[in-house]
């Protein structure tokens, strides 16, 4: 009874003075940049492009680390705010982004804004793809094009180029690091092709695909232009639907020592030759010599285009190959070892509407080759390591 009672005020003050276990445990906040690199990479791999853009805006350190990844590859989409004009505006506002861009994919071809885009220096741009089908989406006068062309700058890091540009100027076609060239439905002149091919010391692949009307250059001039890359070119694909009624020339590719894969029409390769008209046997030395003199010496894959079919085609029936193209294939298979000893694949397009003679399969088996057909839309992506190997 004699014990002095603590006042409520003193009790409260004493309690406040005691160390609190709850207050002692302070939650530690972990910043994204504090995480190990492998965890950060795993997180970023799972993000959509929009989520990555949001993450980049969280702090300056995150922006410095991840913004190059955000702008590494840019798609410009037709009829959306993310079009070519929008990208030009962005790069003019934020100059530091241009060196981050390494791949550009244009889903449109605007003759004004595409030129404005290529007047901005992008020192690390390695791949330029223009995949817009059909005509350009706006009219620009030739006078304005010439003025814009004068503003365009070289993009020396480009190694992969796919574009249907018209050739008002050749200034922007100088890509010394070019490795892959894909030209589709373009109006390139012979001079423009030379400007594209000549500066490159590393060009390994050319794909020329033209389906609308005559070529903008003469067939006979093309082989000379392609020969500028004869020492480095490994893959050559030539396909167009408009053929001259008569040819008095053939492509001599015997100097293309690096070439491993060739897609071509037999008539373009061989041209007119009496052995193609008069021989009665595939044992003809004239025919074998002709093929040997035109094929690249180290060829491993031959893809044949536009094979001869009967004049009267029944759409209900598959057609059998006949004539010069058939004898060309027979001769090549029968005398493979002396004509093209490294040739491993002989393939032909348009299997969906023709039947190859069965004896060709037996001939191919006999010499250890693969002979088969391809469908219209098949486009082989070669195994580059295999192409480089000495053995088949």
Q: In the prediction, which pLDDT does 178 show?
A: 87
Q: In the prediction, which pLDDT does 334 show?
A: 92
Sorted by sequence, the CB contacts under 8 Å of residue 50 that are 6+ apart come out as none
Count Cβ atoms below 10 Å from residue 301 Cβ, excluding itself: 21
Query: Binning pLDDT at 50, 70 and 90, where does residue 6 land?
Result: low
Q: What is the mean pLDDT of residues 166-187?
A: 70
How many angstroms from the chain centroid is the CA of residue 337?
33
Q: What is the mean pLDDT of residues 83-102?
A: 93
pLDDT at 339 over 60: yes
Q: Which residue has the higher pLDDT, 272 or 132?
A: 272
pLDDT at 108 over 80: no
Q: In the prediction, which pLDDT does 350 show?
A: 73
Query: Binning pLDDT at 50, 70 and 90, where does residue 314 land?
Result: low
Identify the DSSP state of 49.
Answer: H
- The average confidence (pLDDT) of the chain is 80
What percentage of the chain has pLDDT greater than the value 70? 77
Query: Binning pLDDT at 50, 70 and 90, where does residue 353 land?
Result: low
The CB-side HSE value for 183 (13 A sphere, CA atoms) comes to 23
Sorted by sequence, the CB contacts under 8 Å of residue 234 that are 6+ apart come out as 204, 205, 258, 259, 260, 261, 384, 387, 388
pLDDT at 94 over 90: yes
Residues constituting the chain: 392
pLDDT at 17 over 70: no
Q: What is the mean pLDDT of residues 174-188?
A: 80
Q: In the prediction, which pLDDT does 322 show?
A: 59
* 233-277 pLDDT per residue, tens: 999 999 887 777 677 788 999 999 999 999 998 888 888 754 455
Q: In the prediction, which pLDDT does 173 show?
A: 67
pLDDT at 367 over 60: yes
Q: In the prediction, which pLDDT does 209 show?
A: 83
Query: Binning pLDDT at 50, 70 and 90, where does residue 206 land?
Result: very high
Q: In the prediction, which pLDDT does 281 show?
A: 46
Residue 307 contacts residue 270 (beta carbons within 8 Å): no
Q: Which residue has the higher pLDDT, 45 or 13?
A: 45
Lowest mean pLDDT among 12-16, 98-102, 127-131, 236-240: 12-16
How many angstroms from the chain centroid is the CA of residue 351?
25
pLDDT at 23 over 60: no
Residue 279 contacts residue 327 (beta carbons within 8 Å): yes
Lowest mean pLDDT among 25-29, 55-59, 126-130, 286-290: 25-29
Q: In the prediction, which pLDDT does 342 show?
A: 95
Q: In the prediction, which pLDDT does 168 show?
A: 42
- Using CA atoms, how far apart are residues 299 and 341, in angstroms rounded to an integer? 8
Q: What is the mean pLDDT of residues 283-302?
A: 87
Give the residue from 245, 346, 264, 259 showing the smallest Cα distance to 301.
346
Alpha helices in the chain (DSSP H): 8-17, 21-24, 37-45, 49-56, 60-70, 84-93, 113-117, 142-149, 190-197, 219-226, 266-270, 274-278, 285-294, 324-334, 336-339, 358-366, 384-388
- Using CA atoms, how far apart are residues 271 and 297, in angstroms rounded to an integer? 18
pLDDT at 14 over 90: no
- Using CA atoms, how far apart are residues 333 and 364, in angstroms rounded to an integer? 6
Q: In the prediction, which pLDDT does 164 show?
A: 54
Residue 199 contacts residue 176 (beta carbons within 8 Å): yes
pLDDT at 5 over 60: no
Lowest mean pLDDT among 76-90, 287-301, 312-326: 312-326
Residue 214 contacts residue 187 (beta carbons within 8 Å): no
pLDDT at 167 over 50: no
Q: Which residue has the higher pLDDT, 263 or 318?
A: 263
Q: In the prediction, which pLDDT does 318 show?
A: 46
Q: In the prediction, which pLDDT does 24 show?
A: 54
How many angstroms from the chain centroid is the CA of residue 42?
28
CA triplet 44, 50, 55: central angle to 5 degrees? Answer: 50
Q: In the prediction, which pLDDT does 186 show?
A: 66
């Amino acid at each position: 009874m004699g014990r002095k009672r603590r006042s409520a005020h003193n009790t409260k003050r004493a309690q406040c003075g005691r160390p609190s276990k709850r207050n002692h445990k302070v939650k530690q906040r972990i910043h994204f940049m504090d995480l190990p690199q492998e965890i950060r990479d795993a997180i970023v791999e799972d993000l959509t492009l929009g989520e990555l853009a949001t993450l980049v805006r969280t702090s300056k350190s995150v922006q410095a680390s991840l913004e190059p990844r955000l702008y590494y590859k840019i798609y410009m989409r037709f009829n959306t705010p993310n079009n070519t004009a929008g990208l030009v505006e962005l790069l003019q506002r934020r100059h530091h982004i241009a060196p981050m861009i390494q791949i550009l994919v244009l889903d449109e071809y605007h003759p004004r804004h595409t030129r404005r885009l290529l007047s901005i220096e992008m020192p690390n741009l390695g791949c330029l793809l223009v995949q817009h089908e059909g005509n350009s989406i706006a009219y620009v006068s030739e006078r304005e094009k010439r003025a814009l062309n004068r503003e365009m700058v070289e993009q020396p890091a480009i190694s992969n180029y796919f574009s249907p540009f018209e050739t008002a100027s050749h200034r922007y076609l100088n890509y010394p690091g070019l490795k892959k060239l894909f030209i589709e439905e373009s109006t390139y002149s012979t001079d423009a092709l030379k400007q594209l091919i000549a500066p490159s010391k590393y060009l390994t692949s050319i794909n020329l695909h033209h389906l609308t009307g005559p070529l903008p250059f003469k067939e006979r001039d093309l082989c000379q232009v392609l020969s500028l890359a004869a020492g480095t070119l490994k893959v050559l694909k030539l396909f167009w639907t408009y053929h001259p009624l008569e040819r008095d020339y053939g492509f001599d590719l015997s100097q293309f020592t690096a070439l491993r894969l060739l897609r071509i029409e037999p008539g373009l390769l061989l041209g007119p030759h009496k052995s193609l008209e008069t021989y009665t046997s595939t044992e003809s030395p004239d025919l074998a010599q002709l093929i040997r003199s035109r094929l690249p010496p180290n060829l491993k894959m031959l893809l044949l285009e536009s094979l001869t079919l009967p004049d009267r085609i029944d759409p209900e029936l598959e057609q059998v190959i006949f004539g010069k193209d058939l004898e060309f294939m027979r001769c090549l298979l029968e005398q493979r070892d002396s004509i093209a000893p490294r040739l491993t694949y002989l393939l032909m397009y348009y299997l969906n509407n023709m039947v190859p003679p069965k004896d060709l399969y037996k001939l191919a088996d006999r010499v250890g080759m693969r002979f088969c057909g391809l469908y219209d839309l098949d486009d082989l992506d070669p195994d580059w390591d295999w192409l480089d190997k000495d053995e088949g």
